[in-house]
Amino acid sequence: MVDKSSIKNLVEEKNIISFFSSFKTFLKKKRMNIAFESDFNPERLKKFIKKFDPKVFGINYDIGNSAGLNYSYKSEMNAYFRKIKNVHIKDKNKENITVPLFSGKAKILEIMSYMLKNGYKGNFILQPARSKFDHVNMIKNYKKIFTNYDYKI
């Protein structure tokens, strides 16, 4: 629910809530979860996610999208940290364009440290800008950075 798929009004929001809530029992039975990714500001996303069963529904937190929207990760964490099911590791520049990790304005390692220190146990999913030439070495370099970083947990 970001960019061209953003929720534009309360009617759309109610329709999404109704649609997903309608198969909550099925999801529980199958032990499945749905994680919403949204460009709502922290308080609006907090209100939105409260309308769903927390055992089945949560949030996909995208570090780059939040940075691109100039959201404070501390405000986001205060609003819905315990609702986060997984995290996209992405970076954006001041024009809100996806860029290679650590070249934009996202505080990737700081956010990851904060989350781990506060008990986050979900997935971190790399979603970097594509390399124009060498995907394999790009991923190897990111792996080295994430592996060698002292997360101060």
| Contact call for residues 37 and 59 (beta carbons, < 8 A) | yes
Local confidence band at 145 (pLDDT 50, 70, 90 cut-offs)? very high
pLDDT value of position 133: 80
User: Is the residue at 52 inside a domain?
Assistant: yes
User: Is the residue at 11 inside a domain?
Assistant: yes
- Per-residue pLDDT averaged across 55-83, rounded? 97
Q: How many structural domains is the chain composed of? A: 1
Local confidence band at 56 (pLDDT 50, 70, 90 cut-offs)? very high
Summarised one tens digit per residue, pLDDT across range 10-39 is 999 999 999 999 999 999 999 999 999 999
* CA R_g for the chain: 16
Three-state secondary structure of the chain: CCHHHCCCCHHHHHHHHHHHHCCHHHHHHCCCCEEECCCCCHHHHHHHHCCCCCCCEEEEEEHHHHHHCCCCHHHHHHHHHHHEEEEEECEECCCCCEECCCCCCCCHHHHHHHHHHCCCCCEEEECCCCCCCCHHHHHHHHHHHHHHCCCCC
Summarised one tens digit per residue, pLDDT across range 99-133 is 999 999 999 999 999 999 999 999 999 998 887 78
| Token pair listed for 66 | 């939040």
pLDDT at 153 over 90: no
- The residue segments making up the domain with residue 102 are 3-148
**What single-letter amino acid sits at 149?**
Y
User: Is the residue at 42 inside a domain?
Assistant: yes
pTM more than 0.85: yes
User: Is the residue at 153 inside a domain?
Assistant: no
| Contact call for residues 1 and 7 (beta carbons, < 8 A) | yes
pLDDT value of position 132: 77
Here the CATH number for the domain that contains residue 25 is 3.20.20.150
User: Is the residue at 69 inside a domain?
Assistant: yes
